[in-house]
Amino acid sequence: MLSTAHSPLARAGLGPMTGVTRASQATVADLLTQLRLALVDRYTLERELGAGGMATVYLAQDLKHDGEVALKVLRPDLAAVLGAERFLQEIRISAKLDHPHILTLIDSGADDGFVWYCAKLGISRWSADSKSDARV
């Protein structure tokens, strides 16, 4: 079993089953505002790139390194009900991966009830000249 004693969630004072009460009781607009405020010193959220059953991915501007990143945020309602252990495991696994077709994890944390991680943005674009998929 993987230890969560040093996880971002544990450092934020949240156990895997205690949930994220502040964030889980808010509306979607409130959540986005709270997320923006929680990360205001590090990232500027520009827009949603996609959402799944577990998390939402945003296009964000990394203020420290002046570049675009993908910011994946665990849904607070899931964290409140199921805990964040599976998402934290995803963070640990992602941090170990190094492959040209997998986004590189560069940061993670738990701020104001949000558990998140950030990856370098690698957008694949179709090149008509070379007929190949190239990462930009």
The tens digit of pLDDT for each residue in 46-68 reads 999 999 989 999 999 999 999 99
Q: Give the mean pLDDT of 11-22.
A: 42
For 29, 36, 106, 119, 129, the CA distances from 88, given in Å and listed in that order, are 25, 21, 14, 15, 41
The pLDDT of residue 86 is above 80: yes
Measuring CA to CA, which residue among 2, 42, 8, 29 is closest to residue 114?
8
Average pLDDT, the chain: 77
The pLDDT of residue 87 is above 80: yes
Q: Is-contact 111 43, C-beta < 8 A?
A: no
Helix (H) or strand (E) holding 36: helix 28-38
Domains annotated for the chain, with CATH where assigned, are 8-121 (3.30.200.20)
- Report pTM: 0.70
